């Protein structure tokens, strides 16, 4: 595989050729493909990729936990790049602007959910790196209405993870209903969790982290967590709210048990293994609440990016050249990534 030999008018991209395990002895699910640089359609922008975050959702797509919605789909939905062309009827972007392309790629705009400010629940929603080609590539196109204007100062690799890990963590934090100054429990401490913890801390809350990785526990403490233990450790005190980031359904009853009366557990992942049977008295009684988190709205994205610009969370970046996308996914699957993984052009 050669990711460098491209001719004028051509770009390269990784595609999910056949979903399957990453990091094994075989070639893996990703395959390199050369294709023409796409043309932006009406309302679209063409973006040249500067950085693309590696999300666990990409891993679910590559390994088949999420069924592909388009043949030979290019993953990646935490994209920072430069606008190289604009289609007709595009407002808000010009050639040369810095743009962010996130998970939510399009909604219908007319259903009851879209009209009531809940476009994340739109039945006809479409997603970057699932329904349309994403950022494991040199270029991609995107609906300009769902792209974000990004500041010029921060490095692309530090901005990219904000576009999913940050935004979905923000929505999960809102769904968890953490009271002011309360203790937030975080189960799993990867890309999204390490950003969400910093937002909660900046708001004046306390954070307790439960995760199996020793390096992740140390990072949590370094960032200001009051407690960092194993996934199954008891909480130091009843939690006022909790977020489950790990895609492990067996941790749902663990987290519910740790909640104080009237507290909420928000489950942040798009994919979760089976949840064991719950005991009503032990896990849900006394008005404990279990909630899912589904994608995000553009208002979530704008609100989070504004809050991140004020609080400036530290983004713990693991950099990979684009040619090593398969390695990045394998490291993510094996819990060898502390913080975030980001692909950068050669």
Q: For domain 167-292, which CATH number applies: 3.40.47.10, 3.40.50.720, 3.60.21.70, 3.20.20.70?
A: 3.40.50.720
Rounded CA-CA distance 277/225 in Å is 31
Query: For 141-156, what is each residue's pLDDT tens digit?
Result: 999 999 999 999 999 9
| pTM listed for this prediction | 0.94
Query: For 87-133, what is each residue's pLDDT tens digit?
Result: 999 999 999 999 999 999 999 999 999 999 999 999 999 999 999 99
Within 75-164, where are the H helices? 112-115, 156-159
Encoding tokens for residue 225? 């967590």
Which of 25-56 are b and which e, b meaning 16 or more Cβ less than 10 Å from the residue's Cβ?
A: eeebbbebeebebbebeebbbbbbbbbbbbbb
How much is the pLDDT for 218?
A: 98
Domain extent listing, the chain: 10-163+316-344, 167-292
Structural element, H or E, at residue 170: helix 165-175
Cα dihedral 127, 167, 141, 7 sign: negative
32 Cβ neighbours under 8 A, 6+ residues apart: 1, 2, 3, 12, 13, 14, 15
Residues facing 228 on adjacent strands? 209
One fold for both 10-163+316-344 and 167-292?
no
Encoding tokens for residue 169? 């963590």
Domain 10-163+316-344 homologous superfamily, CATH = Medium-chain alcohol dehydrogenases, catalytic domain (3.90.180.10)
Closest CA to 200 of 211, 184, 188: 184
Is 60 exceeded by the pLDDT of residue 72?
Answer: yes
């Amino acid at each position: 595989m050669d990711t460098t030999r491209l001719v004028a008018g051509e770009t390269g991209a990784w595609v999910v050729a056949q979903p399957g395990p990453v990091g094994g002895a075989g070639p893996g699910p990703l395959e390199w493909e050369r294709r023409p640089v796409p043309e932006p359609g009406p309302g679209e922008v063409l973006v040249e990729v500067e950085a693309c975050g590696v999300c666990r959702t990409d891993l679910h797509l590559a390994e088949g936990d999420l069924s592909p919605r388009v043949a030979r789909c290019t993953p990646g939905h935490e994209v920072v790049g430069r606008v190289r062309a604009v289609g007709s009827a595009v407002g808000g972007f010009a050639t040369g602007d810095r743009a962010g392309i996130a998970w939510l790629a399009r909604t219908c705009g007319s259903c009851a959910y879209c009209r009531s400010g809940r476009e994340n629940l739109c039945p006809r929603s479409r997603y970057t790196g699932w329904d349309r080609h994403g950022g494991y590539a040199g270029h991609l196109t995107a609906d300009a209405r769902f792209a974000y204007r990004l500041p010029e100062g921060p490095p692309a690799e530090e901005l990219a993870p904000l576009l999913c890990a940050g935004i979905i963590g923000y929505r999960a934090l809102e769904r968890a209903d953490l009271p002011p100054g309360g203790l937030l429990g975080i189960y799993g401490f990867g890309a999204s969790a390490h950003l969400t913890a910093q937002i909660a801390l900046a708001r004046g809350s306390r954070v307790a982290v439960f995760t199996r990785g020793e390096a992740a526990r140390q990072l949590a403490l370094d960032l200001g967590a009051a407690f960092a233990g194993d996934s199954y450790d008891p909480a130091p005190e009843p939690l006022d709210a909790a977020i489950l980031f790990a895609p492990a359904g067996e941790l749902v009853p663990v987290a519910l048990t740790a909640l104080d009366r009237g507290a909420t557990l928000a489950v942040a992942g798009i994919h979760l293994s089976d949840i064991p049977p719950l005991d009503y008295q032990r896990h849900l009684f006394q008005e404990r609440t279990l909630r899912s988190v589904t994608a995000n709205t553009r208002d979530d994205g704008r609100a989070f990016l504004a809050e991140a610009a004020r609080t400036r969370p530290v983004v713990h970046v693991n950099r990979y050249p684009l040619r090593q996308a398969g390695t990045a996914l394998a490291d993510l699957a094996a819990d060898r990534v502390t913080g975030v993984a980001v692909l950068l052009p050669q």
